[in-house]
């Protein structure tokens, strides 16, 4: 059982003057939530996602995962939790060009416990699961944006994370491909994954079972 719990968590940048990217925030994300986070550009969405995903540390307050304060934990512990429990998807896919879809998914497991042959097997299964087995040997340059993002999602879920964090996953996609990616995220959520999606697309946001909005670093839960 994993529960993500921010208490008075803040992230302030200091370049000359302080930028309060995330103001003191209390937030619980529970297993099997599908949380969407909306807000204007610069409001603090990515900052919140990065703190939750252990890509960044709060400058004040606590962040407990399963009861352990990760805000104070060392990089080794944070890296282990991030690698074992979390998957990430970003707007621009971050696929390696001149590598096949299969190889890209395998690369995501390079620092995990699996041997090369297992990595290949798991990668093939992940591509199968997202409906892209037939594109396994394609280079990302031969793929549509929607296909690229689905490969990135396959890479993120291959390690069987508990939580999938997505920062503007449909930001570069047309409405048809946005729909495909949303269907996939919904399906993964129904399969038991906790999903956290940053988006400025209100249609994408409406898919969440919980909807948060961020305004000037302040996080608010929308009542539905």
Q: Closer CB to ligand ADP, residue 41 or residue 223?
A: 41
Residue 42 interacts with which of ligand ADP, Mg ion, none, CB < 5 to 8 Å by class: ligand ADP
Question: For 200, left (φ over 0), alpha (ψ -120 to 50), or beta?
Answer: alpha
- CB distance 31 to 1 below 8 Å: yes
d(CA 171, CA 177): 11
Cβ neighbours around 41 below 10 Å, total:
7
Of 127 and 198, nearer to Mg ion (C-beta) is 198
**Nearest distance in Å: CB 199, Mg ion:** 10
- Taking CB under 6 A as the binding criterion, the range among 34-42, 57-65, 106-114, 175-183 that sits at the site for ligand ADP is 34-42
Q: How many residues bind ligand ADP (CB under 6 A)?
A: 12
CB 9 within 8 A of CB 69: no
In the shown chain, the binding pattern of residues 2 to 31 toward ligand ADP, with x for contact by CB under 6 A and - for none, equals -----------x-x---x-x----------
Residue 67: CB atoms within 10 Å:
9
Does residue 46 interact with Mg ion by CB under 5 A?
Answer: yes
Which one of Mg ion, ligand ADP, none interacts with residue 15, CB within 5 to 8 A by kind?
ligand ADP
CA distance 119 to 122: 5
Q: Which two tokens stand for residue 21?
A: 């990217």
Do 90 and 137 contact (CB within 8 A), yes or no? no
Q: Please select the residue that binds ligand ADP; options are 43, 91, 162, 211, rule is CB under 6 A.
A: 43
Residue closer to Mg ion, measured from CB, 154 or 156? 156
User: Which element (helix H / strand E) includes 151?
Assistant: helix 145-158
The correct pick among 25, 36, 45, 88 for binding ligand ADP (CB under 6 A) is 45
Contact positions vs ligand ADP (CB under 6 A): 13, 15, 19, 21, 39, 41-47
Contact positions vs Mg ion (CB under 5 A): 46
């Amino acid at each position: 059982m994993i529960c993500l719990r921010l208490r008075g968590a803040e992230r302030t940048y200091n370049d000359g003057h302080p930028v309060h990217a995330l103001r003191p925030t209390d937030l619980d994300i529970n297993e099997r939530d599908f949380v969407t986070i909306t807000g204007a550009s610069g409001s603090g969405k990515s900052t919140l996602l990065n703190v939750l995903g252990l890509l960044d540390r709060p400058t004040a307050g606590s962040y407990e995962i399963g009861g352990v304060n990760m805000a104070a934990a060392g990089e080794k512990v944070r890296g282990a939790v991030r690698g074992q429990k979390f998957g990430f998807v970003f707007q621009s896919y971050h696929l390696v060009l001149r590598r096949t879809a299969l190889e890209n998914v395998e690369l995501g497991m390079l620092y995990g416990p699996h041997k090369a042959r297992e990595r290949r097997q798991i990668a093939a299964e992940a591509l199968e699961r997202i409906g892209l087995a037939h594109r396994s040997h394609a280079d990302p340059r031969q793929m549509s944006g929607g296909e690229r993002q689905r490969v990135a999602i396959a890479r993120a879920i291959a390690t069987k994370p508990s939580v999938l964090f997505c920062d503007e996953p449909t930001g570069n996609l047309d409405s048809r491909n946005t729909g495909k990616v949303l269907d996939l995220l919904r399906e993964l959520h129904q399969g038991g994954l906790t999903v956290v999606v940053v988006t400025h697309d209100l249609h994408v946001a409406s898919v969440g079972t919980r909807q948060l909005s961020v305004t000037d670093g302040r996080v608010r839960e929308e009542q539905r």
